[in-house]
Amino acid sequence: MIFGIVSLILAAGGTAWFGAFQSSRLHQISDDEALRMRLVECRTRISSIEQQFEDEHLSVDKQAELQSKLRIECARFSEIGRSPDMPQGSEISQWLKRRKPLAAPLSRETLQLMVVDMDGMISSLGSKIADENELLTASLNYYLVFITLLLTVVVLAGGRFIISSYRRSIIPLHQLSQRLALLNCNLPESLHDTAEAAETLLSGEDPSAEMRSVSESVVSMCHDIEEKNRKLDELHIRDEKTNLYNYRHFKEHLIIDVERARRLKGDIALAMIDIDNFKRYNDRYGHVAGDRVLARIAEIIRQECRMTDIPSRFGGDEFAVLFPKTGRATALEISERLRSIIYAEPFEYESNQPGNQLTVSIGVASWLDDATDGTSLIMNADKALYKAKSSGKNMVLAFSTGEVSVEDEK
């Protein structure tokens, strides 16, 4: 009986420690993911500026404006590095400290090197987050083994007392211990099955106090682990502001779907969506109003997409929708529907926008027609997007045809 009491104390202490450890790891993963997204946003803006350098006929004023934007983006590195959440001495901290302020005008080649450098750091952060997730999964496995062993000790130590005092509890407790012994920590279904089995025992005829206590503990533990796993999964794949899929989840699906299309000779299309004149809106009405616009447009995109589509926040005010097993014509049709719904949607303060409307521009590219891999698919959809914006905004443009699918509504 003493062993059983000691085991319960150890189980309680181990549970408290594991809860604190898991919360700390989740917080660290959340911070790393937020930092990675900030770097992705900076990289997207610098890449956008770099693309504008392609124009050989840039005016002196436009070049000065681009250089000013670059200085602002580089200043963001220092701001991120000074964050109190930034661990001193870490790889990302050292990398940020090595970023120097712009001292002279930069060439397009230098900007390309900056983008490549940032891609490397973003990839490094992604690897760090993956390592943290593996550590969290391993600790979860060890915790379940620890709890299983302690519960087994409790059952064995109290077996004699249970047999003599609560004979009717022997068979149910034996069934529960067998279920725990077969628990597979790597399968969420096993947690669900174990919780259901414990709840069934509780609903049986006249369960003893000991049986009820152990069963309720198992049910609570399984439900708690399932909930933490669900939150962890959501943290990996969802963007916090828009609740769309995040950039990492988008890239993972892009790789998988492109490979499937290559193997099966199937179709795949991509739409890049950008809010027209959003910087002007944000600067005038503030980030709170801007965030409301982002959230509403994201909701429209999510509602209009099919179950198989992958609507994602690409970065900043730019969205991406991946259309697996979908040709260019269908992608253009869905994109036009999105554009027209957003055009008709009443947004706060939109009467002060150009044309008295808040609109989006969309660029579409498709597999095999316009691209041979995932990278070129993104690049060509992005080129179609910027062509749509430079041609008057509020339109859908396909990369391969070079023609506007939908004229700007006035």
Q: What are the angstrom distances between the C-alpha of 12 and each of 9, 135, 147?
A: 5, 22, 9
pLDDT over 90 at 339, yes or no: yes
User: Who has greater pLDDT, 82 or 111?
Assistant: 111
pLDDT of residue 86: 54
Mean pLDDT is highest, among 109-123, 140-154, 358-372, for: 358-372
pLDDT of residue 318: 94
pLDDT of residue 148: 81
pLDDT band, residue 294 (cuts 50/70/90): very high
Phi first, then psi, for residue 267 (nearest 5°) are -105, 155
pLDDT of residue 28: 77
Chain centre distance of CA 102? 32
User: CA–CA separation, 57 vs 63, rounded Å?
Assistant: 10
Q: Is 131 designated active site?
A: no
pLDDT band, residue 292 (cuts 50/70/90): very high
pLDDT of residue 305: 93
pLDDT over 70 at 300, yes or no: yes
pLDDT band, residue 192 (cuts 50/70/90): low
Q: What are the angstrom distances between the C-alpha of 381 and each of 44, 249, 303?
A: 14, 18, 22
Q: What is the mean pLDDT of residues 285-293?
A: 92
**pLDDT (tens digit per residue) in 203-259:** 655 555 655 666 667 667 766 776 666 666 666 788 888 999 999 999 999 999 999
pLDDT of residue 233: 60
**pLDDT (tens digit per residue) in 172-190:** 666 666 655 555 444 445 5
Q: What is the CA radius of gyration of the chain?
A: 28
User: CA–CA separation, 299 vs 243, rounded Å?
Assistant: 8
Q: Quote the pTM value.
A: 0.46
Chain centre distance of CA 155? 42
Q: Two tokens at 153? A: 């000790």
What is the DSSP pairing of strand 396-398 with strand 268-275? Answer: unpaired
**pLDDT (tens digit per residue) in 256-283:** 999 998 888 889 999 999 999 999 999 9
Exposure on the CB side of residue 94, measured as CA atoms within 13 A: 4
Residues with Cβ within 8 Å of residue 371, at least 6 apart in sequence: 365, 377, 379, 380
pLDDT band, residue 350 (cuts 50/70/90): confident
Exposure on the CB side of residue 204, measured as CA atoms within 13 A: 20
Burial class (CB in 10 A: 0-12, 13-18, 19+), 47: middle
**pLDDT (tens digit per residue) in 25-81:** 787 778 778 777 877 877 777 777 666 666 656 566 766 666 676 667 666 665 665
pLDDT of residue 396: 96
Percent of the chain scored above 90 by pLDDT? 30
Please identify which of the residues 276, 317, 370, 382 carries the catalytic annotation: 317
User: CA–CA separation, 253 vs 255, rounded Å?
Assistant: 5
pLDDT of residue 63: 62
